[in-house]
Structure 1
Amino acid sequence: MRSIKRIALLCSVGALLAPLAQAQTWQVAKDEEGIKVSLSEVAGSKYKAYKGETLIKAPLAKVLAVQEDVAGACAWVHECKMQKLLKHEGDQTWTYTQFNTPWPVTPRDSVLRITTSKGADGSVTRNIEEAPTLLPEEKGFVRVAQVEGFWKMVPEGEGTRVTYQVHTEPGGSVPSWLANKFVVDAPFNTLKHLRERVERP
């Protein structure tokens, strides 16, 4: 009986600790030009998750309109070479994107499913996940193996508070210096260029 009680106690303690183990601890990596980028370790991955936050001086509807131009979004997404809409069904959209990478790293591509939902506070969240088997692999590209993240846009006064959070398993071999640079540059440059595009008269 004593051993059974001990096992039961360990299980209950484990249940209490599990949420703590999964909780992300964010460390600010860059805070410039009104854009804050934070990074977090991800259990079982050598690549960090990134989170970028900024305030865009425009209504949420205008931010969404710029985001929903899938092909045009390539102009402000970091290192985007080409992007196209694959299909749209209800609140779900599928996209295909090709990314530039510095030599000698093989360029990456990704197929994403984006699910949009609206909150009671007027916010809009766009959850991002990979759908790599939707299209055959392209010659000359490494398909990104895993993507998990979201865009969240919350009305704030006359502007929109935007959060962009992602964790990626890029597939293949990526040098640590490039991975470490990407997780800071991707959210910072993406949010900076999105803000410029949205706030343009």
Structure 2
Amino acid sequence: MSKNSCYNQFKFSGLLCCFLLLLSLSEAFAQDNWKLVTKKEEITVYSQEVPGSKIKALRVECVVDVPLMQVAALLLDVEGGTDWVYKTKSCTMIRKVSPTEMYYHSEIDLPWPLDNRDFVAHVKASQNPVSKVITIEGPVVSGMVPEKKGIVRVSDSKGHWVVSPLSPGKSKIQYWLHTDPGGSIPAWAVNAFAAEGPIESFKKLKEQVKLPKYRNVKFSFK
């Protein structure tokens, strides 16, 4: 077998594994066994057991009175995450492939005596040409930024956003996340912390998304 044939076979196998992983994750998120965690200020948080993990998956939903593209503009402004994402200390762009695809590094500030967490995420947005629903994937990836002493690198986190148009000036936001923060944080503490984080993040999101810089932004999805 030639080198090119071996490479193409390896590449295909890798793509197939990624596809199967995302498929299994999507099936788990689609299951109807979500349990209500809390509902405040028209923000609803659900949790779900994940087979083989002590950490629960989360689903967050809310409706905002802004157009679809305005929500996408906020979510794709990764460096602006420090203004609204719960306990986020920094967000730094690493590589911008296009306006709808990028890699960024973020550090999460945790209270003493816990170590801060950091991660590198690959964000990619797409839009259904018929329904106009925008989906934004943001799994963590390895490498790209050296690990730092005293900061635990998150190596297992999968989640995505779905933004659906309800009317020309109203959008529904749904967010799914399952993450393992690594290190020595007890699972019960992570699950308790997760109930507060989404509410605080989405409260600020609803304010930030109305800023003038996110208005009239257009994206060309491939």
Query: If the TM-score is normalised by the length of the shorter chain, which range does it land in?
Result: 0.7 to 0.9
Superposition map of 1:24-63 within 5 A:
25-63=33-71
CA distance, structure 2, for counterparts of residue 40 and residue 72 of structure 1: 29
CA distance, structure 2, for counterparts of residue 67 and residue 123 of structure 1: 14
Measured against aligned partners, the alpha-carbon deviations of 1:94-123 in whole angstroms (never above 9, x if no partner) come to: 110000111111100011111211012111
Superposition map of 1:37-186 within 5 A:
37-90=45-98, 91-119=100-128, 120-157=130-167, 158-186=169-197
Contact 1:39/1:183 (8 A) holds in 2: no
The alpha carbon displacement at 1:69 in A equals 2.0
Question: Counterpart of 1:199 in 2: which secondary structure?
Answer: coil
- What is the aligned-residue identity percentage? 31
TM-score with structure 2 setting the length: 0.77
TM-score with structure 1 setting the length: 0.84
Q: Following TM superposition, where does structure 1 have runs of at least 4 consecutive aligned residues deviating by more than 3 angstroms?
A: 21-24
Q: How many residues align?
A: 183
CA distance, structure 2, for counterparts of residue 176 and residue 146 of structure 1: 14
Cα distance, 1:140–1:54 mapped onto 2, change above 3 Å? same
Contact 1:78/1:190 (8 A) holds in 2: yes
Higher-Rg member (1/2): 1
RMSD, aligned CA? 2.0
